[in-house]
Amino acid sequence: MYSSQFEMTEVLADKHYVLQLDTLYESAKIRINGQDAGQIWSLPYSLPLGNILKKGTNTIEIEVANLMANRIRQMDRNGQKRQDYYDTKFVNIDYEPFRADTWSVMPSGLAGRVIIKIYD
């Protein structure tokens, strides 16, 4: 969870405010001032904010979902049992039990700037 506060000296009704993330690895749920603002999961990593901003102090929370491959890797490294699914067995190319513990960690989270753009 990422969180921060920022000040808005004014919020104009005739302007459009858009949250812009430079880089997002996977998906994020956005809350501003405790209200659900929406989700971002693909380029251009932006979200129209409607009238959720207020004059004065605003609080933003960005809850990022980790890449599931990283989670599976960590579970295998820790020896945790994964869910068995009805009629499905995961195996590797040689029909041996599937293991992800040798996978490299993939990028996850936010990278770069988090900004609010203002449009007419």
Per residue in 55-72, pLDDT (tens digit) is 999 999 999 998 888 998
Its pTM stands at 0.81
Supply the pLDDT for residue 97: 80
Q: How many CB atoms lie within 10 A of CB 52?
A: 21
Per residue in 2-29, pLDDT (tens digit) is 999 999 999 999 999 999 999 999 999 9
Closest CA to 49 of 33, 26, 64, 63: 33
3-state secondary structure of 71: helix
d(CA 34, CA 107): 28
Q: Is the pLDDT of residue 91 over 80?
A: no
Q: Which domains does the chain have, with CATH numbers?
A: 2-119 (2.60.120)
Supply the pLDDT for residue 43: 96
d(CA 20, CA 18): 6
Residue 95: which pLDDT band, with cuts at 50, 70 and 90?
Answer: confident
Supply the pLDDT for residue 86: 67
Mean pLDDT of 64-91: 83
Contacts of 32 (CB under 8 A, 6+ apart): 49, 52, 53, 58, 59, 60, 61
CB 100 within 8 A of CB 69: yes
Residue 49: which pLDDT band, with cuts at 50, 70 and 90?
Answer: very high
Closest CA to 47 of 58, 59, 62, 33: 62
